Structure 1
């Protein structure tokens, strides 16, 4: 079987050079390799914006590594771009000419607006949010802010401030102090001040970012077993920890990598300034940014296919899921949800969509083994790259799949943050009941269901003939009543003569 062709994207950033190599698998993107080198090109700029020979040599050495991997990739499947530092450097052409010889390919220097629009496309291609979104990207020498909806960027700007340049300007010698942090934040706010009102006038419903600073924050949150949602109080707590460290070399924050440490304080100062200037409450990590924007625009039909459905279909194909049965369980879950929604405050929101995705993928663990399939399935979801599902979404998906039958772990339901605890409980009940009713794996065996919910008791009325013909399903439902007790719920099964 012929393998699908490879695609490569190279981003010559101000802080790091990145190379992303992917291929199409089951109509979804599979990452084959990621290579990242901390070149810190922006640190080679002097006061006249001339790029030093030392910085150029660091960059060319890195690109020599990248060039080896490009030899086996079709030229039409390669995109190479440069960003803020090579926009600013007065001698950038000297570096670009040498770099193109090393790589054997053309390098495009993106304008600030082009960079911002491409970053937004990266988020749009990998996020399922239907809301108007604000996308942030804190780079080494510039920061991009974009408001958009679907694939359309509505408001775009690029500001000349970044974690490398601010590190050189405000944290000389690695000194961390309240004064240095305040000076960096004040400077960032001054840069943002001209655009604050027009951005607020446009408005947004969600805030996303995939920059290195945000990735570092997400890793810190995960290290303390918290969801990857960045809030202003969390940023303030890290600011205090940095100031108490006195020097960049002394930073000891669990989850913060050594390579990110040198520019973490400057990136944090810029982010706090953005939060305060734009009155942001929270921000979520995006799985896409500049490189993903370049990549997905190369791939066929990526704007026409729903990102989540494409991801679900791809995972189902890779793990040989019985798609007919998954569809059967999903339909049953929708039927039960509609009945529940007549009696409970349930909405067909993002959590409902995650319920349906759980139905579609609930058997992915079977490819490994039956006995621990729930654990295997949850592990696969938690550790897979799932475009269209952020970390919070993935956590709820993994939780549902792990708790699809047998004992219910309340702690896992309480740890997820995609929806309220009560809503998660009701959705889990719907999920588990749908699986039980579909266990015959035969559409003709599904029964019409009448359900009443009162005083934490769920009464399910079924045709007497069906009850007699399905003793195993009825026994499973009886066992389910015991499992639901941990949720403070009970389950009663009645036939159509109202006989238990």
Structure 2
């Protein structure tokens, strides 16, 4: 395994992607060779997290332990890797579970890499990118990935996704509710297919209007169904609706999935076959799919390619921010002023507050879109901005990064409500507070919206304090700003944070002397 020293000497860097899926946990190790991804090692462990998700969305202790046990094994394999060389993505079950924070807290004690919970649309985007990079296709392509708890649909052209959707139907969750203990019957198949069709109904028109020239399936479920159909000699490769219906009719000869002995069907897939087949039949019927081929690439490959892009400073999040700026007609000049001040402050406090490049980047993104809420109303702009960021589709951002952006923007002005700050697994509360204070100061200092306004800024940071040196001669005529800075000191004091501005203290003392005389 390549060490950090070897990577610094120019050897091809090793990277790893870990996919904490609802059915299985996957790990892929690769290296970047001349800008391309060379896959070296794959590992898969069946966990079935979705099996432990109750109807009220609470993850069972048994499921949590199964997941943690696999993470222990993965941690051993990934021991030589630097933190920035590993990306860990969690999907449907940890996205939906009410107690996912419990799993993430316990995982921290035994797994040294941050776990990113992503949205369904982000999951679909990664899956599409994995297929697009893995196998070139010149036309538009529909990609379907049947997971344990959800099924992702992505439609795009070349490397550009055009439609993304995640539907709450998966082979584990449907198996548990519609084919319990592996029971097979015509009535169960019909119910599962109708339920899947109802889940698909909202996206059908949108996808069919765009259209596609190729349909692709990427999951283990699709591979299993393809292998069975090919094993029976019904097809040489591509799946058609007639093959799926023929397989359903064959399965109806049995009363239980455990009794199945089919070509290409492994023991660990027996209880998932009927539910996966039902979902695929519904997709074929609702989307009018003629043929579907299997491609051996999915979310984790998409993650690897995005890691490679970031190493080459091609970050899709930059495109996402630019898209928001254009869509909501954000004042770009003011956003640049605030962003520039943010980065000036970060450069001086990063060592004291242990801020890294990723922290600075997320903070600059928050500065860019802090005024996005003006699109709704100037009154309470911070609330409107936070609402947009919390609910928008932000390609490239995991759920906690999106929540952090919304949190920073929500409290970038006026009062800080400590009890409303969300819990973060990836970010310590102290860091969230520090980032928030930098953004607040940057916004406050640029309130005149002028390029030639600010003096050279000098700051020093402490554990729960920041000292800002402003020239007295510059601050003295700025009555409104001085009043706002005094108010900011009071706001920060309420969260046990000290904002020290010597020139402001001196100015206040002068005013007291003048008023008393």
Structure 1 position 221, deviation (Å) = 4.2
Structure 1 position 5, deviation (Å) = 2.6
Structure 1 runs of 4+ aligned residues shifted over 4 Å read 25-28, 300-304
1:296-311 matches, within 5 Å, as 296-299=305-308
CA distance in 2, matches of 1:303, 1:192: 38
| Other-structure match for 1:241 | 250
| Other-structure match for 2:288 | 279
Structure 1 position 301, deviation (Å) = 9.3
SS of structure 2 residue aligned to 1:198: helix
Q: Is the 8 A contact 1:209 1:283 kept in 2?
A: yes
Unaligned runs of 5+ in 1: 305-500
1:135-214 matches, within 5 Å, as 135-214=143-222
Q: Structure 1 residues 90, 117: CA separation in 2 closer, same or farther (over 3 Å shift)?
A: same
- State the Cα deviation string for residues 7-65 of structure 1 (Å, max 9, x = none): 11100000111111112457643332211111000010111100000100000001100
- State the Cα deviation string for residues 324-376 of structure 1 (Å, max 9, x = none): xxxxxxxxxxxxxxxxxxxxxxxxxxxxxxxxxxxxxxxxxxxxxxxxxxxxx
CA distance in 2, matches of 1:254, 1:100: 41
CA distance in 1, matches of 2:203, 2:87: 31
- State the Cα deviation string for residues 402-443 of structure 1 (Å, max 9, x = none): xxxxxxxxxxxxxxxxxxxxxxxxxxxxxxxxxxxxxxxxxx
CA distance in 1, matches of 2:207, 2:62: 39
| Other-structure match for 1:250 | 259
CA distance in 2, matches of 1:61, 1:302: 31
| Other-structure match for 2:139 | 131
Judge which range, 191-200 or 27-36, deviates more.
27-36
Q: Is the 8 A contact 1:209 1:289 kept in 2?
A: no
CA distance in 2, matches of 1:123, 1:108: 21
SS of structure 2 residue aligned to 1:256: coil
CA distance in 1, matches of 2:311, 2:125: 17
Query: Which of residues 251, 255, 268 is equivalent to 1:259?
Result: 268
CA distance in 1, matches of 2:230, 2:102: 42
Q: Is the 8 A contact 2:229 2:243 kept in 1?
A: no
Query: Which of residues 270, 279, 282 is equivalent to 2:279?
Result: 270
Structure 1 position 254, deviation (Å) = 1.0
Query: Which of residues 60, 65, 73 is equivalent to 2:68?
Result: 60
Q: Is the 8 A contact 2:240 2:291 kept in 1?
A: yes
| Other-structure match for 1:73 | 81
Structure 1 position 217, deviation (Å) = 2.2
Query: Which of residues 70, 74, 92 is equivalent to 1:84?
Result: 92
Q: Structure 1 residues 190, 227: CA separation in 2 closer, same or farther (over 3 Å shift)?
A: same
Q: Structure 1 residues 302, 130: CA separation in 2 closer, same or farther (over 3 Å shift)?
A: farther
CA distance in 2, matches of 1:167, 1:17: 19
Q: Is the 8 A contact 1:5 1:73 kept in 2?
A: no
CA distance in 2, matches of 1:303, 1:105: 22
Structure 1 position 156, deviation (Å) = 1.1
TM-score, normalised with respect to structure 1: 0.58
Structure 1 position 224, deviation (Å) = 4.8
- State the Cα deviation string for residues 363-393 of structure 1 (Å, max 9, x = none): xxxxxxxxxxxxxxxxxxxxxxxxxxxxxxx
CA distance in 1, matches of 2:303, 2:232: 33
TM-score, normalised with respect to structure 2: 0.56
Residue 289 in 1 paired to residue 314 in 2? no
CA distance in 2, matches of 1:228, 1:77: 36
- State the Cα deviation string for residues 248-276 of structure 1 (Å, max 9, x = none): 11112111111111111100100000000
SS of structure 1 residue aligned to 2:239: strand
Unaligned runs of 5+ in 2: 314-517
Query: Which of residues 39, 46, 65 is equivalent to 2:54?
Result: 46
